[in-house]
Chain A
Amino acid sequence: MRHSLSLKVGPVGFRVGSDWRAPIAQLAALYEGYPSVDVPDFTVRLEALRPWRRWVRPSVAIHGDYRLPEAAPLPLAQGLLAAELGMNLQMALGYRRHLLLHAAVVERGGRAVLMSGVSGAGKSTLALMLGQGGWRFLGDEFALVDCASGGVVPFPRAVSLKNGSIAVAAEGARLGPMLRGTPKGVIRHVAPPGDAVARMAEGASPALLVFPRFGFAGAVRGLDAAETFVRLTQASTNYAMLGEAGFRALTRLVEGVPAVAIDYPDGAAGVAQVEALFAAL
């Protein structure tokens, strides 16, 4: 490919190739300081739909080792988003070294809080705000749970902030371009705090499972094991693929870690709720 970049995020090596320079340059800027990798786990290709579409109405088709036929192409201005989606797609379709949960993870004192929920529940915003307030940011897209040890492994990708939450990014943080008109509105990527990258080989033990919901009056509800189990199977992209190992890892997580659903009206309140729940453990 004309332009390419390799990078290692936590245990996973990616190689991203592109027909255009811009997405790779933006990716390189956002992931400055990440190690490169000689043999990647996954390849992502950002390719023109047809040869002439490199210049005429440039449109980025997302390809790679694993393919989702209905993944729609994006305009070149959203090339960075295409790269991020491509990496997520490879993980969701092909990764089987850990149990994958669609969740954000932060850590303090070796103990991790996993926050799982649908898109728009506020995982990324909460994780970034906690990461700026004394917690270590382990990731905002996938929680990687080790099937043997039960520990959670960092996967600190760039955080994708949407619409109103973009203002949460800290002063001086490394930012991607403002991506307007995406299927999810305005998106802007923020590089994780520095210690998240420096310590990304260092795992943690899950201590609390949180299912946040943004935009409601503050409330906390404890979840029983059955409901937690079902919610997490829905949040996992490779639970079925892992077979018995996945079942054991998930069972262990559900039985060993308390789970709560929280409603929160704004970021500061959500952070306070997580802090309070963690302190009460």
Chain B
Amino acid sequence: MTTNLLTRILSNPACASEMEAPQWTAILTVARAEQLAGTLAQRLAGLPVPARVAAVLADAQGSAEQGRRAALWEAEMVRRALAPLGVPVVLLKGTAYVAAGLAAGRGRSIGDCDILVPREALAPVEAALLAAGWEWVKPDAYDDAYYRQWMHELPPLIHRERDRMIDVHHTILPPTARPTPDADALIADAVPLENGLSVLAPMDMIVHAAAHLFADGDLAGGLRNLWDIHCLIGEFGTGGLHERAAHHQLGGAVARAVRLAEALYGSKGTAGLGAVDRLYMRRLLARDGWGRETRQGVRFGFYVRSHALRMPPAMLARHLWIKWRRRGAPASG
């Protein structure tokens, strides 16, 4: 209910004039919790809002602007570190949106720097990053081996001076997941930026956002991801999207992303949604006006699902057993 207020005002900023103080309080709190405060500030720019709301939005705008600058600088640092290798480097997610000047990047909060490189280039990329000041975040030997054997990315690295994380992907889903996206096509069709870095082709961007949300995660941050998808579709349309999604074996995830983005941020509302989509909606909107996570049962269901999607049952059992035995133990290695 409360979270609906945020999606409604994002899709239709004109309804700001209807909001009273308690609604504003809830909207701002939920926007922060969902990492959408900067986006909200962008959407409401120039519209009359109460002074106290304007002050919070101005802070969010300043914060997003600082985040944008830091993300672009980090991408430049990565570019400098990897340029001598001559391998293609594709920016992903938030960094890609701001680097390419896309609507999805406006006001967006950006955490880690995510990049995609060819799988065969992983070793030299890793060595170059380590030489340029990045360090391992997870010193645990099991975690490290797990990432290397089973994940679609290297274990996360953090830069020792700038304190920024980088995730180096070689594809967009874990190899243990059932869909197998065509990583070579993602890189081959990437769109070069002026500085030599690239971003995914438009339809691949949408496919990746949907994969990240529905085939890999427990839907945490889902409202922001679907806002990204809403903006990408608004900018690029959906011509060729379904073929591309099918090529990456992600037709179902992409179709669901399109339906839910439309339901949350489009003009049609929830009329066309089926029962399963409605369950997703319940998870996506599970937050109250104090920013608290609600609907713990639904959340837990999606958490279990996210692990079940990532690996087959026997492997999942072994993984959770090892993680459980190690809980609280000091990291070794």
Contact = CB atoms under 8 A, between A and B. Distances in A.
Interface string A232-246: 000000000111000
Contact of B55 (A41, A43, A94): A41
Interface stretch (A32-40, A155-163, A202-210): A32-40
Nearest to A51: B296
Contacts of A13: 52
Contacts of A47: 292
B21 A243 contact: no
B263 to A, nearest CB: 27
A17 interface: yes
A265 to B, nearest CB: 40
Nearest to B22: A38
Interface string B24-57: 1100110011000000000000000010110110
B63 A96 contact: yes
Contact of A65 (B21, B24, B32, B69): B32
B220 to A, nearest CB: 14
Contacts of A94: 59
B290 interface: yes
B62 A96 contact: yes
B17 interface: no
B291 A97 contact: no
Nearest to A47: B292
Nearest to B31: A65
Judged by DSSP, the binding face of B is helix
Contact of A39 (B52, B63, B66, B292): B52
A94 B29 CA distance: 13
Interface in B231-279: none
A39 B59 contact: no
Contacts, number: 52
A115 B101 CA distance: 44
Given A65-B32, A96-B59, A43 B290 contact: yes
Nearest to A6: B25
A43 B62 contact: no
B231 to A, nearest CB: 24
A40 B291 contact: no
Contacts of A39: 21, 24-25, 28, 50, 52-53, 56
A43 B2 CA distance: 15
A241 to B, nearest CB: 6
A78 to B, nearest CB: 21
Contacts of B50: 38-39
Contacts of B32: 65-66
Contacts of B28: 39
A40 B25 contact: yes
B291 A38 contact: no
A43 B32 CA distance: 10
A65 B33 contact: yes
B188 to A, nearest CB: 38
A38 B66 CA distance: 28
Contacts of A213: none
A105 B33 CA distance: 33
B306 to A, nearest CB: 20
Contacts of B292: 45, 47, 63
A243 B63 CA distance: 10
Interface string A111-150: 0000000000000000000000000000000000000000
Given A1-B290, A17-B290, A41 B63 contact: no
Contacts of B63: 96, 241
The 8 closest A-B pairs by CB, nearest first: A38-B21, A39-B52, A65-B32, A39-B24, A43-B29, A39-B21, A96-B59, A39-B25
Interface of A: 1, 13, 15, 17, 37-41, 43, 45, 47, 63-66, 94-97, 241-243
25 contacts: A1-B290, A13-B52, A17-B290, A38-B21, A39-B25, A39-B52, A39-B56, A41-B52, A41-B55, A41-B56, A43-B29, A43-B291, A45-B291, A47-B292, A63-B292, A65-B32, A66-B32, A95-B59, A96-B62, A97-B58, A97-B59, A241-B63, A241-B66, A242-B62, A243-B66
